[in-house]
Structures are given as structure tokens and as C-alpha cells.
Structure 1
Amino acid sequence: MPDHDAIYKSEAETYDLLISKQPSLYDVIESIQPVEGLDILDLGAGSGRLTRVLAPKAKSILAIDASEAMLQVTADKLQEAGLLNWATRVADHRDLPVLDNSYDLIVSGWSICYLGSSGDPNWKENIHQVMAEIKRVLRPGGSAIIFENFGTGSTVPSPPSFLRAYFDLLEKEYGMSHTWIRTDYQFDSLEEAERLSRFFFGDDLAQQVIREGWIQLPECAGVWWLRFPPTSRIPRF
């Protein structure tokens, strides 16, 4: 499996090309929480997959990520679009450098999972810290929406085994609603499909792309959301 940390630090442009092959998630977010006029925090923004589609409607948007290189791609794209209502900041999900009750909506795409892998002995505490931070910075009545991998190369949900306990935690301990959607990659050619799938997902999936002749690489994404009312409480451990 490719080293994603290294990709995020040194190959942000290629990563951005990969995710540009997926559909916009604006309508999914809008169906859960209308975004116009909101102050929005994009947690683990990466190269701006969500930031760039939400910024035109938001009052303000802050993109946070651990990778400065990824945030530079985000900044470049927002500047090209002529938008002025945004900022970027390098930070850890578990210690957000923002004030209490400062955002109406928090979104996070394919990011919190890196702290929730069962291969990390501290995964559960990591998730508790992230959720406590989300609750801290949301305004009363604010919403959180999380997107995660629910099966790449599959037309039906097939979540990675090492993330299933994290997903269960979101629903059972934090009461988040859940559904799944298709987020297929639509490549320009089989060569591009093979090259970009190998770049991020590794040799096994790339070989499957070749065998299946997939110019459209199927993928499922899980979606979790929750509105935090004024009386909501995040469990403390």
C-alpha cells in the first residue's frame, strides 16, 4: 500500500488530480445542512475537495489539515476562483486552533479515519478527542458531517475491516445518522485509471482496474451526520 503521509507531503498535485475524477459532494452536504451564509470548518481539508465547493456559498470557511503542501493546493485554487472568505491552517484534528462555538458546520472528508484505524492502540481515544473538539467549536445547533471510505473497487458497501469499529463508534456512542453513496472515479482513459489507482491505492487495485477494464472505478463512501443541540454532551473518557 502506498505511503499516504508521503503522498500528502510531496505529491499533493497528483492526489488532487485523482480526486478531481470524483463527483462533487455539494448536493449531499446541502441535503443535510444548507450551507449558504454559514461559517464552516473543513477538518482534514487536503487539497480542498470540500472547501472549494462550499466556499462560494459560505460566509467564511477555514481549511485545516496536517499537510501544508495539501493546503497550498487548496489556497491556490481558492485564489484562482477569486474568493476572499477563506483561510487555511496546519493543525491536528485533536487540538483545533479555533475558538469555542465559532462554526455553524464542520465537514470532514476521508480524514478522521487516519486516527480511527484499529491498528492504532490509541484509536478510540483519538476519536473521542476529535469528537470533543468538534463539539467544542460548533455553535449551538451546529452540524457535523463526516465522509469516509466505504469500499474502493466495490459497487456495494464494503468498509475496510480496520475502520469498522470506528464507524460503529460514530453511530452507537455519538448517535450519528448514517447512509452511503457512490463516489466513483471517472477517468479519461484506462491508462489514467491504472496509473492513478496504483499511485494512491496500490498494485492490487491497479491490477483489478486492468482486468476489469475500469475507466469508471467504483467506490462507495459512508456519510455520517449529527446536529449538536445546545444540551448535547460528548462522552468524556
Structure 2
Amino acid sequence: MEAELCKLVGNQPFDSLLDLGTGTGRILELFKDQYRKGLGIDASRDMLTIARDKLDQSGITHASVRQGDIFNLALERESYDLIVIHQVLHFLHDPAPAINEACKMLAPGGRLVIIDFAPHELEYMRSDFAHARLGFSHESVSGWMTANGLDVEKISDLSSDNSQDKTLTVSIWLGKDPRILMAGDNSASIA
């Protein structure tokens, strides 16, 4: 999955990365050589402790993590070139407001990457892992992205390597903000 994600994002450097639901901070680690500043947001203090330790052990000094609410981000709007929501939406009863909030953080021309499960029928994921949703159709996530003004550039499906859950497929959606920032202008223009 990481190889496909890196392929989608590409090797181009970007200024800022926002990782929503950062968990252990893996996304901040994965793209460490591509961004100038990174920020991971998570609701769990325990996960943030793990993420801080991993960033410190990896010597990543240009990223930080902090506690926050994915539905109400206390961050500067339109200031992130890449926003990643990795395996978070299935924990939310209504993911649309979280995607809406993420889109408000995108800089003109920025990209939103959502990684989550495709629809499945593994009910034990609800009871054993607190999943509120059993995956998402391509149309659902694409619809939320387009409703927020993004162009859906690519959707990829990856089968699970886990022998126990061969029925699980992970989908990756890549959306792009079509606005561009005109030279010498601080307001966004539609391309």
C-alpha cells in the first residue's frame, strides 16, 4: 500500500503536509523527504505519544503532532499542499463533515489523499475494532470530494496481503483542488 501511495503522490517536493488521524505518524515518516513542514493531528493522546517517539527516533525535526478534532481543525485555512486521511473514515459515523473540514485546509492546487477500506461484510470489524462503517464505495468518497470542489484524479484498489482477511480491499482516492494561485495575488483563482 505504501508503494502505491508514494507512486500516486509522486517524488515532487511540496511545502506542507497535514496528516489527519495521524496515529503512529507513519505518513509523516513516509513522506519525510518531500515536505518542508508536516503536521499530524489525532484525537488520541496515546497515539500522539507513540507518534512523537517515532518522529524523534527517526530524527524528523520538520514535523510535529498535536491533539485535534478532525471535524473542527484549529488551523490556518488553505495552507496545506498535501492532506492525507489514512484509515480514519471507517471510524466515523458521518465522514462527510471530516472531508469538508479537510478541504478547507487545502491550498490552491493542493491534493487530498484518502486511504480506506472498500465496501466489505466483515461485521466483526465493528465489534472487535470499533469500525462504524464497513468500507466505502468509489462513488461515496468521490462524491464527498467533488461536493467540496475537488477534481478526483485517480482511484486505486489494493487487495489485502493479510491471509485472514483476503476479502478486504483498500481504496486510495486522490483529489486535487483546481484553484491556482496567481503570481503576485494572495487570493485563489479558478484554473
**TM-score w.r.t. length of structure 1:** 0.61
**Unpaired runs of 5+ in structure 1?**
1-22, 118-122, 152-157, 186-213, 233-237
Alignment equivalent of 2:5, drawn from 25, 29, 32? 29
Residue 182 in structure 1 maps to residue 159 in structure 2: yes
Deviations 1:90-118 (A, max 9, x none): 11111112101110000111102211x4x
Q: Which protein shows a greater Rg?
A: 1
Work out whether residues 101 and 139 of structure 1, in 8 Å CA contact, stay in contact via their aligned partners in 2: yes
Report the CA distance between 1:132 and its aligned residue.
Answer: 2.1
| Structure 1 residues 168 and 44, CA gap change in structure 2 (3 angstroms) | same
The amino acid that maps onto 2:104 is R
Report the CA distance between 1:217 and its aligned residue.
Answer: 5.8
Tell me the distance in 1 between the aligned counterparts of 2:5 and 2:36.
Answer: 16
3-state SS of paired residue (2:14) = coil
| Structure 1 residues 172 and 217, CA gap change in structure 2 (3 angstroms) | closer
**Identity rate of aligned residues, in percent?**
24
Residue 113 in structure 1 maps to residue 62 in structure 2: no
Work out whether residues 148 and 221 of structure 1, in 8 Å CA contact, stay in contact via their aligned partners in 2: yes
- The structure that is strand-richer by fraction is 2
Tell me the distance in 2 between the aligned counterparts of 1:41 and 1:169.
Answer: 22
Deviations 1:139-198 (A, max 9, x none): 0010000111237xxxxxx4668445675321234344422113424xxxxxxxxxxxxx
The amino acid that maps onto 1:59 is R
Residue 60 in structure 1 maps to residue 37 in structure 2: yes
- The structure that is helix-richer by fraction is 1
3-state SS of paired residue (1:50) = helix
Q: How many residues align?
A: 164
Alignment equivalent of 1:225, drawn from 168, 174, 190? 174
Tell me the distance in 2 between the aligned counterparts of 1:164 and 1:81.
Answer: 32
- Cα RMSD for the two superposed structures: 2.6
3-state SS of paired residue (1:28) = helix
3-state SS of paired residue (2:26) = coil
Match of 1:103 in 2: 80
Match of 1:211 in 2: none
3-state SS of paired residue (2:145) = coil
Matches within 5 A, 1:205-224: 214=163, 218=166, 219-224=168-173
Work out whether residues 40 and 105 of structure 1, in 8 Å CA contact, stay in contact via their aligned partners in 2: yes
Tell me the distance in 2 between the aligned counterparts of 1:137 and 1:38.
Answer: 14
Work out whether residues 150 and 159 of structure 1, in 8 Å CA contact, stay in contact via their aligned partners in 2: no
Alignment equivalent of 1:72, drawn from 49, 59, 66? 49
Matches within 5 A, 1:142-181: 142-150=110-118, 158=120, 162-163=133-134, 168-175=139-146, 176=152, 177-181=154-158
Compare relative contact order (CA 8 Å, sep 6+) and give the higher one, 1 or 2. 1
Tell me the distance in 2 between the aligned counterparts of 1:63 and 1:172.
Answer: 25
Work out whether residues 76 and 105 of structure 2, in 8 Å CA contact, stay in contact via their aligned partners in 1: yes
Report the CA distance between 1:83 and its aligned residue.
Answer: 1.4
Report the CA distance between 1:88 and its aligned residue.
Answer: 0.6
Report the CA distance between 1:74 and its aligned residue.
Answer: 1.0
Work out whether residues 117 and 136 of structure 2, in 8 Å CA contact, stay in contact via their aligned partners in 1: no
**Unpaired runs of 5+ in structure 2?**
124-132, 147-151, 180-188
